[in-house]
Amino acid sequence: MEQFTLNLIVVGLTFALYVGIAFWARAGSTSEFYAAGRGVHPVLNGMATGADWMSAASFISMAGIIAFGGYDTSAYLMGWTGGYVLLAMLLAPYLRKFGKFTVPEFIGDRFYSQTARLIAVICLIVASVTYVIGQMKGVGVAFSGFLNMSYEMGLLVGAIIVAVYAVLGGMKGITYTQVAQYVVLIIAYTIPAIFISLTITGNPIPALGLFSNTAAEGVPLLDKLDTVIQDLGFASYTAQTDTTLNIFLFTLSLMIGTAGLPHVIVRFFTVPRVADARSSAGWALVFIALLYLTAPAVGAMARLNFVDTMWPNGPQEDAIAIEEMPNWVQNWERTGLLAFEDKNGDGRIEYWADEEKNEAVKVDRDIMVLANPEIAGLPSWVIALVVAGGLAAALSTAAGLLMAISSAVSHDLIKSMINPAISEKNELMAARISMLVAIAAATWLGLNPPGFAAQTVALAFGIAGASLFPAILMGIFSKRMNSQGAIAGMLAGLLTTVIYIFLHKGWFFIPDTNSFTDADPLLLSIKSTSFGAVGAMINFAVGYFVSNATQQPPEEVQELVESIRVPKGAGAAQAH
């Protein structure tokens, strides 16, 4: 059977499964649409959170970025897992006790201010839309590879499918669908990794294979990789090349962003008890760690296999001849994400670090995971499985984010500020329209994304970490924090971070409108993806000084803070 037909069958089957589950558990009332009626077991909730969390950035993009970035990119691994520790200890249990539906609702009530709530809605929308742009890049790569079309066409097809998918089901559909998606994506990620690890190191567990000897030469895998890529002029894989300051701030940005992203926090509103919010975070991280411990192995082995493909007999011998290029190369060349140029006209493609003589002129990092099973020559059903897994990852997160955006618009903005008398039917309609608008905007910006999928998503984390995380944290841990402090802090964190990002990535991510680049950033060595940590510090500082210079929060708000600190008396969420 042809690869394409097989891809179609496997992707079709998994989709039928998700849509079936979504219909089976179709959302009825608005309360179910937002928070799934709160009856979800911590292990299942953890699994669904895992699927919700692991997006195109984790599944499709991250290992490719690690493959070409080595040690420096460890920030992604630590950042996107370490945030769960913060979530479990600093936010989730108290927000569950608070017992409302959305993050802006908490901010509005805790800071007794509709203005604070409005600003939280804005922060949420800016962070989530940026996040969806990253997902769209991943969706575009996956569909273009799978349907053999250009990246732009793949993006368009993907956007339509995301739209249909997200508008159809509410959170309830999504919770159970996401459990299924988690299972599909973890199998799809692990199986090729096991095959590849077995071939290269003889160890069936990729996470252990990474630190094992190669089967062929009997030298440590990482040693071999270091030697091979240094021969081509690249920096050593295991050595640090970025500055310590930037790696530190980048890791911190991703961690606080994890804890500040509304679509993840919302998950913890759906567990039955406060204690379950803590253990749910633990279970979520267990399921996430299964992929995150495998990812660095996938990255290192993919890099090695890629070099082997380009230099079949090693860099001392001839490079690969154009007519001997394997199938996967031709497939990905068609998408425009992989490009070669035979500069010296010898009929061979030479892969070097040196820009002058490198002939593999474009290797989009985001294709590595999807192309990996083909590069390693794995059976075609494995390739089909990876395509299905990548789509599951991208769709589940895009849907979760679009839920967060639509509930912020319909519930926090329209229902509580603009038109409180809105009917339930119109509220649902507003939710769906805001989803479609968000998808359209993200798709348009996804045509020229500000970076690879995981880098774009990292920007979203910086924005969430700089704006929402400090406000929620201070709302719980400081009784003194008042509305003026929170509002000034959120605005300062959001604006400094967004402006810093726009200065480096272009205004509103429009290409060529940037004044600086991440290679030569404005402040010290702080790249735009790392600035979220600085923005958060600014937020904390501004919040602290402004609140101390203004009135104490009212008595009843201080009592509210007291009450969310203890689990006792947490009921079901209050409907409005």
242 binds another protein (CB under 8 A): no
Terminal-to-terminal C-alpha distance of the chain: 55
Q: How far is the CB of 117 from another protein (least distance, A)?
A: 26
The correct pick among 1, 218, 244, 423 for binding another protein (CB under 8 A) is 244
**Binding-site member from 55, 58, 81, 496 for another protein (CB under 8 A):** 81
- Does residue 247 belong to the site contacting another protein (CB under 8 A)? yes
Nearest CA to 248 among 75, 371, 415?
75
Q: Which is nearer to another protein, 524 or 566 (CB)?
A: 566
Rule CB under 8 A: say whether 85 interacts with another protein: yes
Give min distance, CB of 540 to another protein, in A: 15
Find the binder of another protein among 273, 334, 348, 432 (CB under 8 A).
273
Q: How far apart are CA 172 and CA 235, in angstroms?
A: 48
Residues facing 320 on adjacent strands: 349
Q: In which residue are the tokens 């990789």 written?
A: 225
Give the interface segment with another protein, choosing from 74-82, 126-134, 319-327, 504-512 (CB under 8 A).
74-82
Greatest Cα pair distance, the chain, in angstroms, is 79
Applying CB under 8 A, which of residues 62, 88, 428, 435 lies at the interface with another protein? 88
Helices of type H across 311-423 = 327-335, 368-375, 380-407
Shorter beta-carbon distance to another protein: residue 152 or 559: 559
Q: Is residue 442 close enough to count as binding another protein by CB under 8 A?
A: no
Residues in a beta bridge with 520: 517
Compose the 282-301 pattern: x for residues touching another protein by CB under 8 A, - for all others: x--xx--x--xx--x-----
Binding of residue 44 to another protein (CB under 8 A): no
d(CA 169, CA 50): 19
Output the six-digit token pair for 121. Answer: 């809605």
Residue 227 has which token pair? 């030697």
The stretch among 126-134, 191-199, 486-494, 565-573 that binds another protein (CB under 8 A) is 565-573
Calpha distance 1→125 (Å, rounded): 45
516-545 binders of another protein (CB under 8 A): none
Report the residue number, 148 or 213, with the smaller CB distance to another protein: 213
Distance CA 234, CA 528 (A): 24
The nearer residue to another protein, 282 or 506, going by C-beta atoms, is 282
- 158 binding another protein? (CB under 8 A): no
Binding to another protein by residue 574, rule CB under 8 A? no
399 binds another protein (CB under 8 A): no
Report the distance separating Cα 238 and Cα 10, nearest Å.
37
Complex with another protein: residue 57 or 285, whichever CB lies closer: 285
Amino acid at the residue 448? N
Beta-bridge partner residues of 349: 320
Using CB under 8 A as the binding rule, the residues of this chain from 203 to 232 that contact another protein are 207, 210-213, 219-224
CB of 158 closer than 8 Å to CB of 139: yes
> Does residue 71 interact with another protein by CB under 8 A?
yes
**Which CB sits closer to another protein, 98 or 151?**
98
* Closest alpha carbon to 200 in 304, 293, 68, 327: 304
Nearer to another protein, 33 or 531 (CB): 531
Supply the DSSP symbol for 272: S
Closest CA to 482 of 116, 103, 122: 116
Token code pair at residue 20: 């079936």
Among 13, 16, 89, 160, binds another protein (CB under 8 A): 89
Distances (CA, A) of 178 to 44, 95, 234, 378: 9, 22, 40, 27
Residue closer to another protein by CB (options 113, 478) is 478
* Shortest CB 225 distance to another protein, Å: 8
Q: Which amino acid is at 151?
A: Y
Shortest approach of another protein to residue 78 CB, angstroms? Answer: 5
Q: Which of 151, 234 has the CB closer to another protein?
A: 234
Closest by Cα among 351, 326, 315 to 231:
315
CA distance 170 to 5: 31
Q: Which of 420, 520, 568, 574 binds another protein (CB under 8 A)?
A: 568
- How far, in Å, are 200, 202, 276, 539 from residue 211 at the CA level? 12, 12, 36, 41
Residue 214 Cβ, how far from another protein at the closest point, in Å? 9
Which CB atom, from 180 or from 285, has the smaller least distance to another protein?
285
97 CB burial (10 A radius; 0-12, 13-18, 19+): buried
Nearer to another protein, 181 or 246 (CB): 246
Interface with another protein, residue 305, by CB under 8 A: no
Nearest residue (CB) to another protein, 288 versus 403: 288
Which residues would be at the binding site for another protein (CB under 8 A)?
71, 74, 77-78, 81-82, 84-86, 88-90, 93, 207, 210-213, 219-224, 238, 240, 244, 247-248, 251-252, 273-275, 278-279, 281-282, 285-286, 289, 292-293, 296, 562, 565-570
